[in-house]
Chains A and B, each alone.
Chain A
Amino acid sequence: MVLRRVRLVLLVVTLVVLENTVFRHLRVFDAIPSLCLIATIAVAYEEGPQAGAIFGFTSGFAIDMLLSGTPVGLSALSFALTGYTLGVLQGGLVREVRGISPLLAFVGGILGGTIFLVVGGISGVDGFFSLKQVLVVITAAVYDGVVAAPVFKFTRWANHDPDRARGW
């Protein structure tokens, strides 16, 4: 249990650092993938809505700590709501589908990005309601889908605990 928590903390730190450093050189049409959001989706897919919301809030909060132009809590809120929604959707799946991670990451990317823009725009962040930002959200969501498989694998490894029942 403790080991799993340590692994999950390491997962978040690693993804935040990768997003901040390596991926800043790998921008595609001004967008980078949101690795922590993909990890949130992976947790929601494996563990359900509540775990998705908690992990989303935590990893989003970690991202918020490194931003300066948007209010603290904005990523936390958008990741948590995305994790919860994807967890609920996953509950509706009749059986586990192999290779679904890119699709989930894309849908989650669109949802998370939209919540981020709408709540950010309402809370007064300048320039969030623009077509350009919508295009960035779509591009980032496609990028999320492309890098989803390894992030899902990494998250599954960090979250793995054979002695534990499903859910948090």
Chain B
Amino acid sequence: MLLLIVISSLLLITLDSRGNGLVDSFRSTSRDAIAPIRDGVETAFDPLRNLASGVTDYGDLKDQNVELKRRLAKLEGKLTRNKAVGGKVSELERLLDLPTAEDATGIAARVVATAAGNFERTVEINKGTGSGVFVGQPVVAGNGLVGKVTTVSATTATVTLVDAPALGVGVRLANTGARCVTEAHTGDRDVLLTICDRGPDDKPLHACPEENAIPDTCVTVGELLFTAAVEDGAFPPDIAVGRVHRLTQATGDLEMTIAVRPIVDLDDLTYVKVLRWPEPKATK
């Protein structure tokens, strides 16, 4: 009996690794079948979860509130200054015929589950092909990029998160403007930047020295990263992806290691938006 089980399992693994359509459709049907139960349990569990986090995170929430008020004041000042240049940017974008994230309409969805087990970085959402969700569409949350739809059934879809090894995102560093590709490693919440452009000073990207830093030519911890504008890109440009979290360069390394922490808390997602991207309207 054990031999039969082992052979069947290995056969299934081989079939699926080679990309068998039958296995995929069986998976998709199973997800649809279990979706209503999972959705119900998640909804029923909501009040309890809110109560528990309200009690356990009270101190953190107070600190967070103070920090948010401070950041709000700072951002209001920055917004006023940015308004002056914002108009010019929009005008230039129109002239260059560049599609932007605002061009893409979205489908709001609720995260109903994470991947079963400990070794996958995906979430399940409660919208599928029936709601216009298709494989390859980008997914965002309020403040940034969440990931990309990788499998879809009639009523649910699986979103591979930005910190999953299967997903590489073309990004642009806010200050230097250098473009890189993200590379995630299983189990690591930070993603690394690879294949980076040279900096504006035509040198490899380097960390800003603590004093006399010119942030336009070097990388600083906390610097924001946005999706890069690429023709026929998988993601709309200028969606916040993350912040530089760590900069390291071991002796003998030619390039610096840039670790980025995704801007969205990927472990605590509730609502997301699937962008209809690319759509004919968005290309103008």
- Where the two chains meet, the residues of A that have a C-beta atom closer than 8 Å to any C-beta of B are 13, 16-22, 24-25, 27, 30-32, 34, 49-50, 53-54, 57, 63-77, 80-81, 84, 113, 116-117, 119-120, 123-128, 130, 132-133, 135-137, 140
Contacts and interface: CB of A to CB of B under 8 A. Distances in A.
Given A73-B9, A73-B13, A74-B13, A20 B124 contact: yes
A76 B124 CA distance: 21
Given A19-B116, A130-B187, A71 B164 contact: no
Interface string B139-178: 0000000000011000000101000111000000000000
A136 B117 CA distance: 11
B5 A80 contact: yes
A129 B116 CA distance: 20
Rank and list the top 3 A-B pairs by shortest CB-CB distance, nearest first. A127-B186, A73-B12, A132-B187
A20 to B, nearest CB: 4
B151 A68 contact: yes
B271 to A, nearest CB: 15
B34 A16 contact: yes
A91 to B, nearest CB: 14
B80 interface: no
A43 to B, nearest CB: 14
Contact of B160 (A64, A69, A80): A69
Q: For this complex, into which size category does the number of interface residues on chain B fall?
A: 35 or more
A123 B18 CA distance: 10
A68 B13 contact: no
B114 A24 contact: yes
B239 interface: no
Contacts, number: 161
A165 to B, nearest CB: 17
B188 interface: yes
A51 to B, nearest CB: 10
A81 B42 CA distance: 32
B34 A66 contact: yes
Given A17-B41, A68-B150, A53 B158 contact: no
Interface in B204-259: none
A77 B41 contact: no
A72 B12 contact: yes
Contacts of B49: 25
Given A17-B37, A72-B12, A84 B2 contact: yes
Contacts of A126: 165-166, 186
28 contacts: A18-B41, A21-B112, A21-B113, A22-B45, A24-B113, A30-B187, A31-B118, A32-B117, A57-B8, A57-B9, A65-B31, A66-B31, A68-B120, A68-B122, A69-B121, A69-B122, A70-B117, A72-B12, A72-B26, A76-B12, A77-B5, A80-B6, A116-B117, A123-B17, A127-B185, A130-B185, A136-B118, A136-B119
Contacts of B31: 65-66
B34 A127 contact: no
Given A66-B113, A81-B2, 19 more contacts: A18-B41, A19-B116, A32-B117, A49-B2, A66-B27, A68-B120, A68-B158, A71-B17, A72-B26, A76-B5, A76-B12, A77-B5, A77-B6, A77-B13, A80-B5, A81-B6, A116-B119, A130-B187, A135-B187
Contacts of A70: 117, 119-120
